[in-house]
Structure 1
Amino acid sequence: LRWLIIGFYVDDLSMLFLAQLIHAFSFGVFHSVGISLVHDYFTGSHQGRGQALYASTSFGAGVAVGSLISGMVWDQLGAEILFVFASCCTLLALVIVWVFIQSPKFNGGHVR
């Protein structure tokens, strides 16, 4: 939703403010859940490695690859298409996480 608001309401300050509020909330949730999953999957002395892997893949490699692809899409197809593409990527990520990623704390919907 945030990407679509930014792409289609670029001249509307109130909509951009709404998009930033959504970003503040969604990034907070993303980061909190990411740290929680690292804590669940990497135990004991491996937690430092898990944190490094999380940071390097989401903020290092993710930003590098995302910037490259975004630049190419922006140049070839324009800004609005880029923001639609970003929305689609976010939706795809949600589906992947929903289907494949589960915290080790949960077993069939019940906390262990």
Structure 2
Amino acid sequence: MKKFVADHFEDFVNRKKPEVALVNLSADFLDHDEPSGPQVGPEAAVAMMKAAYQKWPDLHVDIEDMIAEGDKVMVRNTWRATDAASGKKIEFHGFVLWRFANWKIVERWATLTAPREA
């Protein structure tokens, strides 16, 4: 599961392939912390990342720590990007907890810090 999550972040964020969510997330995926409120299904995640790529074209995430136990993987990560409108470099940090079933991500909880200039 740790490799699955690492590969998911690499494709979904760093390689800017939002469609990977349609493969990696279950059809009934529940995102408890989607910016627009809790969402069911992978489509909201795809839309969120497409908007993020527009705002921060060079968006990149680094996994700092990862812990797996049972059906869950917890990740601490650092996000870096340049704001397309201002040209300012930003950085923010987060924790994400993923729950798995049948080798799909079925739930997500996330906490992010506010972006700050890097």
Greater share of helix residues, 1 or 2? 1
> Is the TM-score greater than 0.5?
no
Query: TM-score, normalization: structure 1?
Result: 0.31
The structure with more strand, counted as a fraction of residues: 2
The higher radius of gyration belongs to 1
